C-alpha cells in the first residue's frame, strides 16, 4: 500500500514536471540555433547588442521602482493609521484594495483612457497615469503584504512607546513601524517589480516604450531573439523570487504569489 | 446615552474646544481614498455609465441588449469556455501534484524544488510564455517536430496552438502552479489522525477519501476553481502574444475596440467592458463566500 501510493505520486510529479520543463527546454534549444548548423549564443549576443533592449528594460525598471515608492508612501501610513485609529475604516480599505480583482488590466486601461483623454483632466500622455495604473494593478498584493506585516506587529504599543519617548509621526512611521514590517514590504515590493517589469497591457495602450511592448514587437518580427528573451525573462523571474524566498525564510513569513497575465 | 449627553454638555461649556472634540483622525486616510476614487472608481464608473448611454449621452439599454449579437456573445462564450476548462483542468492536475507532493511520501527535494518553481511559473506569463509555447507546440515547435519524426502529425490531427486548446494549454502553464501553491496548505491540513480513525473503524483508502477527505477539501477545491476562472478570464497579454488577436475572446475584443473602434460604437465597447466587470464581480463574490466556508475547516 505504502509503496504503491509513492509510485503513483512519482508518476504525477514526473508527468507534471515534464509539462513545465518541456517548453523551457524547447525554447532554450531554439534560442541556440540562430546560426545555421551550429549551436551557439548568437541570439543572446544580438539581444544584448540591441540598444532598445536596454532602453525599454530601464524604462520599465524605473516605472516599477516609482510604482513601489509611490505605493509604499500611500499605503503604509494609511494602513498604519487605520490600525491605530480607525478599525472600522480598515474594512473599507480592505474592500477597496480588492477592487482591482474585479477590473482586469484591459478594462482598467480602457477606463483610464476614457476618463483622462478629454478635458478637464488630460493625463494620457503623462507617465504619472501609467504609474497610477500600475499602483492599482498591484494594490491587492501590496495591501496584503503591508496588512500582514502590521497585523503581526503590535502597532499600538510600539506607537505609544515611541510617543512617550517624544517621537513625532514621521519618525514613528519611518524608524519604528517600517523596520518592524520590512520583510513584508520587501515581499510586496518584489511582487510589484515582477508584475510591472514585463507588463504589456497598460504600457501598450498608453503607448509607452516599455519592456512588455518591446517583447511583443520582437516576438512578432524576429525568430531567435524572442527565444533568447524568453529565457532571459524566465531567469529574471527566478532571481526576483529567489530574493522574495530568501527574505521570507529569514522572516518566517508565508510567501504570497500573484501577478497579471 | 448618559455619557454622550454629558460629553455634549462639556462641549457646550468649552466651545473653543469643539474642533478638537470632533474625531479628525479619518483625515489620515483621505489620500488613499482620493487615489482610489481617481484611478479605480472613476475609470470603472465612467465605463459603467458609458454603457448605459447612446452617442448623444441619453440613457439607453440598447448597448446591453446589443451584447447579445452573435459575434459578442461568441466572444463571451469562448472566454467562459477557456476560463472554465483551464480552471477545472488546472485544479485537477494541480490538485494531483499537490497531493503527490504532500501525501506521496516523496523525498524532500521534490517539495523544495516544486514550491519555488510554482511561484515562478505562476508569474511567468504574457509574451515570454506565449513564445515558449510557440517554440514547443507551434508548427515548427520542438514537440511538434519530435512527434512528426515519430510519425504523428499534431496539426494533421486537428491541433492548432492558435486556437481554443492551444490557448488553454498555454494558460494551464500559469494555472496549475497557482493551484499547487493554494492547495498545498489544504492537503497539509488533513490530519493523519483522521485517516487512522477511519481505518481503525474499517474504512478502505477509497472510502476515507470519498467520505472524509474530499468533503473537507471541497470548499478549498471550489474556491480554487473560481479563483482560476477569474485569473484566466481577465488575462490579456498571453492571449494577445499567442494569437495576435485572431482568437476572439473578450479581452482581445476590448483591445481591438480601444485601438480602432471595431464595433463602430464606442458605447457598445463600454458595455463589453462592463460585462467583464459584472462577471468578475460574481466570481469574486462567490470566491469570498467559499473562502469563508473553507476557513472554518483549515485552521
Which CATH number characterizes residue A244's domain?
A: 1.10.3720.10
In chain B, whose CA is at the least distance from the CA of A121?
B38
On the CB side of A90, how many CA atoms lie within 13 Å of its CA?
A: 16
Residues of chain B neighbouring A198 (CB-CB closer than 8 A): 126-128
Which among B40, B47, B99 is the nearest to A110, CB-wise?
A: B47
- B69-297 carries CATH number 1.10.3720.10: yes
Give dist(CA B163, CA A58) in Å, integer: 34
Query: Does the distance separating the beta carbons of B103 and A13 come in below 8 Å?
Result: no
Better-scored residue on pLDDT, B274 or B198: B274
Q: Residue for cell digits 476515507?
A: B208
B74 neighbors B156 (Cβ within 8 angstroms): no
Which among A5, A30, A105 is the nearest to B104, CB-wise?
A: A5
Which among B26, B50, B106 is the nearest to A9, CB-wise?
A: B106
| Longest CA span, chain B | 96
Determine the average pLDDT of the residues in B168-175. 95
On the CB side of A231, how many CA atoms lie within 13 Å of its CA?
A: 19
Query: Does the distance separating the beta carbons of A260 and B125 come in below 8 Å?
Result: yes
On the CB side of B239, how many CA atoms lie within 13 Å of its CA?
A: 29
Nearest to A11 by CA among B214, B206, B85, B106: B106
Domain that holds residue A247: 41-251
Count of domains for chain A: 1
CA distances to B175, B221, B225 from B91, in Å = 8, 7, 6
List the grid coordinates of A234.
524566465
Query: Does the distance separating the beta carbons of B120 and A96 come in below 8 Å?
Result: no
Long-range contacts of A64-68 (CB under 8 A, 24+ apart): A64/A134, A64/A192, A64/A193, A64/A196, A64/A197, A65/A193, A66/A131, A67/A131, A67/A134, A67/A135, A67/A138, A67/A192, A67/A196, A68/A189, A68/A192, A68/A193
On the CB side of A128, how many CA atoms lie within 13 Å of its CA?
A: 8
Query: Does the distance separating the beta carbons of B25 and A107 come in below 8 Å?
Result: no
List the grid coordinates of B37.
476614487
Model pLDDT, residue B2:
45
Lowest mean pLDDT among A63-72, A178-187, B67-76, B82-91: A178-187
Tell me the average pLDDT of chain B: 87
Nearest to B231 by CA among B98, B106, B117, B86: B86
Q: Is the dihedral of CA B253, B255, B260, B264 positive or negative?
A: positive
Nearest to A208 by CA among A113, A68, A138: A113
Domain with CATH 1.10.3720.10 in chain B: 69-297
Model pLDDT, residue A1:
44
Nearest to A229 by CA among B246, B167, B241, B239: B241
Among B29, B30, B148, pick the best mutation site for testing chain A contact (most A Cβ within 10 A). B29
CA A242 to centroid of chain Cα atoms: 14
Lowest mean pLDDT among B6-15, B159-168, B197-206: B6-15
The neighbouring-strand residues paired with B59 are B53
Model pLDDT, residue B295:
66
End-to-end CA distance of chain B: 40
Determine the average pLDDT of the residues in B170-192. 92
Nearest to A135 by CA among B32, B185, B25: B32
Which among A6, A89, A136 is the nearest to B26, CB-wise?
A: A89
> Interhelix angle for B250-260 vs B70-103, to 10°?
130
Nearest to B35 by CA among A194, A139, A188, A160: A139
**Per-residue pLDDT reduced to its tens digit, B92-147:** 999 999 999 998 888 888 888 898 889 888 888 889 999 999 999 998 888 999 99
Residues of chain B neighbouring A244 (CB-CB closer than 8 A): 119
- Asked if residue A260 belongs to a domain, the reply is no
- Asked if residue A136 belongs to a domain, the reply is yes
Percent of chain B having pLDDT more than 70? Answer: 90
Query: Does the distance separating the beta carbons of B106 and A103 come in below 8 Å?
Result: no
ipTM: 0.88
Mean pLDDT by 10 residues, chain A (261 residues): 70 92 93 85 92 95 96 93 85 91 94 89 88 96 91 88 88 89 87 91 95 92 90 90 77 51 56
Model pLDDT, residue A57:
95
Alpha helices in B191-265 (DSSP H): 192-200, 205-208, 214-233, 237-243, 250-260
List the grid coordinates of B277.
466587470
The reply to whether B75 touches chain A by the CB within 8 Å rule is no
Entry pTM: 0.88
Whether the predicted pLDDT of B13 surpasses 80: no
Give dist(CA B270, CA B253) in Å, integer: 11
Which among A23, A139, A198 is the nearest to B173, CB-wise?
A: A23
Q: Residue for cell digits 476560463?
A: B83
In chain B, whose CA is at the least distance from the CA of A261?
B235
**Per-residue pLDDT reduced to its tens digit, B232-285:** 999 999 999 998 878 899 999 999 999 988 888 899 999 999 999 999 999 989
Amino acid at each position: 500500500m505504502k509503496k504503491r501510493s509513492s509510485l503513483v505520486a512519482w508518476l504525477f510529479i514526473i508527468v507534471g514536471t515534464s509539462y513545465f520543463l518541456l517548453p523551457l527546454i524547447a525554447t532554450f534549444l531554439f534560442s541556440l540555433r540562430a546560426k545555421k548548423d551550429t549551436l551557439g549564443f548568437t541570439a543572446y549576443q544580438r539581444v544584448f547588442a540591441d540598444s532598445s533592449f536596454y532602453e525599454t528594460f530601464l524604462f520599465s525598471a524605473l516605472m516599477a521602482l516609482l510604482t513601489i515608492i509611490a505605493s509604499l508612501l500611500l499605503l503604509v501610513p494609511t494602513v498604519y493609521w487605520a490600525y491605530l485609529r480607525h478599525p472600522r475604516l480598515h474594512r473599507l480599505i480592505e474592500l477597496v484594495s480588492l477592487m482591482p480583482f474585479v477590473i482586469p488590466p484591459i478594462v482598467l486601461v480602457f477606463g483610464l483612457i476614457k476618463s483622462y483623454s478629454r478635458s478637464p483632466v488630460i493625463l494620457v500622455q503623462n507617465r504619472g497615469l501609467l504609474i497610477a495604473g500600475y499602483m492599482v494593478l498591484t494594490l491587492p498584493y501590496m495591501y496584503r503584504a503591508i496588512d500582514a506585516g502590521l497585523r503581526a506587529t503590535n502597532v499600538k504599543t510600539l506607537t505609544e512607546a515611541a510617543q512617550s519617548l517624544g517621537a513625532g509621526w514621521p519618525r514613528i512611521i519611518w524608524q519604528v513601524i517600517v523596520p518592524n514590517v520590512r520583510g513584508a514590504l520587501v515581499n510586496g515590493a518584489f511582487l510589484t517589480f515582477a508584475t510591472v517589469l514585463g507588463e504589456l497591457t497598460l504600457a501598450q495602450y498608453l503607448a509607452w516604450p516599455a519592456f512588455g511592448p518591446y517583447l511583443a514587437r520582437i516576438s512578432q518580427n524576429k525568430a531567435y531573439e524572442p527565444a533568447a528573451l524568453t529565457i532571459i525573462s524566465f531567469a529574471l523571474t527566478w532571481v526576483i523570487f529567489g530574493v522574495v524566498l530568501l527574505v521570507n525564510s529569514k522572516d518566517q513569513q508565508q510567501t504570497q504569489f500573484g501577478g497579471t497575465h | 446615552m448618559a455619557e454622550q449627553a454629558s460629553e455634549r454638555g462639556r462641549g457646550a461649556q468649552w466651545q473653543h474646544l469643539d474642533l478638537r472634540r470632533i474625531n479628525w483622525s479619518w483625515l489620515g486616510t483621505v489620500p488613499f481614498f482620493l487615489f482610489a476614487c481617481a484611478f479605480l472608481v472613476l475609470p470603472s464608473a465612467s465605463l459603467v455609465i458609458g454603457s448605459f448611454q447612446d452617442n448623444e449621452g441619453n440613457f439607453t439599454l440598447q448597448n446591453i441588449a446589443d451584447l447579445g449579437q452573435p459575434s459578442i456573445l461568441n466572444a463571451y462564450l469562448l472566454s467562459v469556455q477557456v476560463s472554465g476548462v483551464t480552471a477545472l483542468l488546472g485544479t485537477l492536475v494541480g490538485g494531483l501534484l499537490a497531493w503527490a507532493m504532500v501525501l506521496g511520501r516523496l523525498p524532500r527535494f521534490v517539495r523544495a524544488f516544486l514550491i519555488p518553481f510554482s511561484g515562478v511559473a505562476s508569474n511567468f506569463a504574457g509574451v515570454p510564455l506565449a513564445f515558449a509555447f510557440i517554440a514547443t507546440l507551434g508548427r515548427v515547435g520542438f514537440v511538434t517536430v519530435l512527434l512528426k519524426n515519430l510519425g504523428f502529425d499534431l496539426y494533421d490531427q486537428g491541433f492548432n496552438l492558435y486556437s481554443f486548446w492551444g490557448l488553454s494549454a498555454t494558460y494551464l502553464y500559469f494555472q496549475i502552479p497557482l493551484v499547487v501553491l493554494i492547495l498545498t496548505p489544504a492537503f497539509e491540513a488533513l490530519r493523519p489522525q483522521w485517516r487512522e480513525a477511519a481505518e481503525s473503524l474499517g474504512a478502505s483508502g477509497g472510502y476515507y477519501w470519498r467520505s472524509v477527505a474530499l468533503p473537507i477539501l471541497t470548499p478549498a477545491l471550489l474556491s480554487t476553481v473560481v479563483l482560476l476562472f477569474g485569473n484566466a478570464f481577465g488575462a490579456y497579454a498571453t492571449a494577445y502574444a499567442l494569437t495576435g488577436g485572431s482568437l476572439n475572446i473578450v479581452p482581445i475584443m476590448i483591445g481591438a475596440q480601444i485601438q480602432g473602434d471595431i464595433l463602430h460604437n464606442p458605447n457598445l465597447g463600454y458595455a463589453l467592458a462592463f460585462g467583464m466587470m459584472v462577471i468578475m464581480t460574481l466570481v469574486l463574490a462567490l470566491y469570498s463566500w467559499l473562502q469563508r466556508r473553507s476557513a472554518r475547516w483549515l485552521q
